[in-house]
Structure formats: C-alpha cells, structure tokens
Amino acid sequence: MFENDAVILFQGDSITDCGRSRLRNNGLGSGYVRMIAGALKKAAPDAGIRVLNRGISGNRAIDLVERWQKDCIDLQPDYLSILIGVNDTWRAFDSNDYTADVTFKARCRTILEETLKKTQAKIILLSPFLLDVNEKVTKMREDLSGKQRAVGELAQEYAAKWLDLDAVFAQACTTAPPTEFSLDGVHPTAKGHALIAAEWLKAWDVHLTAEV
C-alpha cells in the first residue's frame, strides 16, 4: 500500500482523461484512474492518499513536454504514472502528421529528466497499446511498435516501473474477443479500464480489486 498522504499523479491522453473534470481534483473521469482511486480509498479510507488526473484527450508526447511544469512539477507528486504514445502514432494515419520514434523518445526523456530533477516521484511508464479489432488498427502497429520499444527502453534506463499494457491485452484476448476490451482498438471499454487498473495496482504490489 502507498504511504499516508501520498500524491499519485496520472498523466496521458484520452485513455487517462476519460471525461475527467477540469474544475475539481476529485473529478477523475470514468476510467482506470477512478477505479484505482476507488480501490485505494476502499482499502485505506483514512490514509489521505490523493489521486490526481491530468490526462488530456488527444495529447501526444510534445503536449506533455509543453505543460509539464504546470501539470506535473508544480503538483510535486510522490508517484507518477504516464501513458502516452498512441496519438503520436494515430496522427500519422488520420492527419499525415508523423512523429519519428527518435523524436518521441527524446520528448519522453525530457519529461523524465525534468521529473527526476525537480521532484521525488517514483515513476511507472505504461506502454501504449492497440487491440486488433480490425485491419486498420492492426496496420497502426507498424508505427506504434517503435514507440512501445522506446517506452520500455526508457523505463529500463531510468529504473522506472514498466507496465506492458500491449502484452496485458494480448494475453486477455486469448480468452475473450478484443472488442470486449475496446470497441475501436484504442479506447478501452469499462472491462478494459478495469484490466488496466488491476495490472497497475499489481505493478505496485497492491493486491486490490478495481471495481468498474
């Protein structure tokens, strides 16, 4: 379990955002962040753990770089969770706006360096993922694989935790169709979010049930 009064910050794109409030810190959206917060609150109601969601729909790594001071450093988290990368791939397919793997990795490195220099946060990096619901989505793997590899390499380089969500979903899809976890291959269903939440908690050796 996390220590009393710990601040846990979640960063990323729409998968993290998931309709969160821009006005209230406790408006965590309807996805995996809310599920994690609920599990922690239920397990330790008096621990004073604060969960913050600063995911923004549509964000790419460059967007995190540009808002990192306000949306991370100024918040001084004790724990930081980052899930980014699928939009760096998606924009290459829907807008012809390509982000090279080396550029993506450099941008992620920038936010990691800033975090380690200016906070005491323990970091977990979540691999961007796709679920193979159709050929169009599967084709995006040609680009996403380099981003996934970059996240794994950075986790190793900076001794951060790494949660390979693509592998998690691939394993889950051996016993259920991918559409149970995501209808469009990118945005999780409630069941998909619950799986992320459960694996995130497990990565910190917190064995709790995340409720949908």
Q: Which domains does the chain have, with CATH numbers?
A: 7-203 (3.40.50.1110)
pLDDT of 58-116, one tens digit each? 999 999 999 999 999 999 999 999 999 999 999 999 888 999 999 999 999 999 999 99
Q: How far apart are CA 49 and CA 81, in angstroms?
A: 15
Q: Which residue among 101, 145, 187, 193 is the active-site one? A: 187
pLDDT band at 209 (very low <50, low <70, confident <90, very high): low
Q: How buried is 207 (Cβ within 10 angstroms: 0-12 exposed, 13-18 middle, 19+ buried)?
A: exposed
Q: Quote the pLDDT of residue 26.
A: 83
Is 14 one of the annotated active-site residues of the chain?
Answer: yes
Whether 57 is catalytic: no
Nearest to 61 by CA among 13, 124, 9, 125: 13
Model pTM score: 0.96
> Can 207 be counted among the known catalytic residues?
no
d(CA 184, CA 171): 18
What is the per-residue burial (b if ≥16 Cβ within 10 Å, else e) of 164-190?
bbbebbeebbeeeebeebbeebbbbbe
Q: Say how far apart CA 207 and CA 39 lie, in whole Å.
A: 10
Q: Is 23 exposed, middle or buried (0-12, 13-18, 19+ CB in 10 A)?
A: exposed
Candidates 14, 81, 127, 182; catalytic one: 14
Kindly tell me if the per-residue pLDDT of 166 is higher than 70: yes
Q: Are strands 79-83 and 7-12 parallel, antiparallel or unpaired?
A: parallel
pLDDT at 23: 86
